Amino acid sequence: MVVKVSVYSDYICPFCFIGKSRVDRLEKEHAVEVEWKGFEIHPETPASGADMESLGFDENVAAIMRKHIDELARDAGLQIKMPARISNSRLALLVGEFAREQGRFKEYHGAVFKAYWQEGKDIGDPEVIFSITAGIGLDTKELAAYLKNHEATARLDKYVREAREYGVDGVPTFVIGDKMVVGAQPYEVLEQIVEEELSAADTAKGISTEEDAARPLRCGTP
């Protein structure tokens, strides 16, 4: 059995970047099928980006958050470079849908997180995003045409509607089977839920097999 894992995520969320490393490990160690779904957390951010101060955090609170992010990143084996400005992530999320259609989502997904959280690049800048797509072998002319047909916009809107139905109000949110987990949870928390889903499926399968075995054999008649 394969356990389906849906992750609502945004590239400008450091906890999503950290969560990605844990999901990558899940994919290596367990039979899971992961689908990342874009969830824009700051749609009000101008296309040109904004200063981090625009988020409205008190300086002391911001310092505590940065320390917490650094600790979580180290625990996940990641190095994070806090960006000077917050990017508008909508373009990056839209292009992610194109990469998905082209079978290159995983490469694109990792490259965008790296560009923003480790290289300090503005992922709201079309030049940055198109450079990333070209770097993983995607056709930029096809991408430009794709962005004009609004298909990706419809998909992102669908993800948001789904998320609202689940009661999602933050990222990352992991939907594993019928369970939902919010935030950069330890790997062990995600792993435990996956194992519970697998165990429940095995139990249900065993019950079904026993029921089948208990039925009398019939020949030619229902």
Q: Using one digit for the tens of pLDDT, what is the confidence trace for 5-61?
A: 999 999 999 999 999 999 999 999 999 999 999 999 999 999 999 998 888 888 898
Mean pLDDT across 93-118? 98
CA 37 to chain centroid, in Å, comes to 6
Residue from 135, 129, 114 nearest 24 by CA = 114
CA distances (Å), 155 to each of 147, 159, 166, 210, in order?
Answer: 12, 6, 17, 43
The confidence score (pLDDT) of residue 221 equals: 32
Quote the CA–CA distance of 210 and 189 in Å, as a whole number. Answer: 32
What confidence tier does 62 reach under pLDDT thresholds 50, 70, 90? confident
Q: How confident is the model at residue 207, as a pLDDT?
A: 45
- The mean pLDDT value for 180-184 works out to 93
Task: Report whether 63 contacts 2 (CB < 8 A).
Answer: no
Give the tokens for residue 24. Answer: 């990558």
- Banded pLDDT at 84 (limits 50, 70, 90): confident
Average pLDDT of the residues of the chain? 90
pTM: 0.89
Q: Single out the residue of 113, 103, 87 nearest to residue 23, CA to CA.
A: 113
At the topology level of CATH, where does 3-214 sit?
Answer: Glutaredoxin (3.40.30)
pLDDT tens digit string along 200-218?
876 766 544 344 444 333 2
Instruction: State the DSSP string of 52-65.
Output: GGGG---HHHHHHH
How far is residue 83 CA from its own chain's centroid? 20
Per domain, the residue ranges of the chain are 3-214
Nearest CA among 171, 151, 98, 90 for reference residue 124:
90
